[in-house]
Amino acid sequence: MIARYTRPQMGQIWSDENKYRMWLAVETAASATLAEDGIVPAEAAQAIRERGGFDIARIQEIEAEVKHDVIAFTTAVAEKIGPESRWLHYGLTSNDVVDTAQALQIKAASVLIREDLLALIEVLKQRALEFQHTPTIGRTHGIHAEPTTFGLKLLNWYAEMRRNLERFDAAAEQIRIGKLSGAVGTFGHLSPKHEERICEKLGLKPAPIATQVIQRDRHAHYISTLAIVTSTLDKIAVEIRHLQRTEVREAEEYFSEKQKGSSAMPHKRNPITTEQISGLARVVRANAQASYENVALWHERDISHSSVERVIFPDSTILTDYLLAKTTNLIEKLLVYPKRMLKNLESTGGLIFSGQLLLDLAEAGMLREDAYRLVQGHAMRAWKDDLVFRDLIKADPEITAKFNSEKLEHAFDLNRQLRNVDAIFERVLRG
Q: Using alpha carbons only, give the angle 247, 250, 254 rounded to the nearest 5 degrees.
A: 110
Give me the catalytic one of 141, 263, 299, 405: 141
DSSP β-ladder status, 143-149 and 135-140: antiparallel
**Beta strand ranges found along 87-202 (DSSP E):** 135-140, 143-149, 177-178
Q: Which residues pair with 178 in a beta bridge?
A: 206
Q: Which of 85, 144, 181, 262 is catalytic?
A: 262
Burial string for 391-413 (b: 16+ CB within 10 Å, else e) reads ebbbeeeebeebbeeeebeebbe
Is the distance from CB of 179 to CB of 211 less than 8 angstroms? no
- Catalytic annotation on 262? yes
The answer to whether residues 7 and 325 touch, using CB atoms and an 8 Å cutoff, is: yes
Which DSSP string do the residues of 286-302 spell out, in sequence order?
HHHHHHHHTS--STT--
Q: Annotated catalytic, 141?
A: yes
Please report, as a single letter, which amino acid is at residue 143: I
> Under a CB-based contact definition with an 8 Å cutoff, are residues 161 and 124 in contact?
yes
User: What residues contact residue 317 under an 8 Å CB cut-off, 6+ apart?
Assistant: 10, 13, 14, 106, 109, 110, 113, 226
Please give the radius of gyration of the chain, using alpha carbons only, rounded to the nearest integer.
30
CB 205 within 8 A of CB 173: no
Q: List the catalytic residues.
A: 141, 262
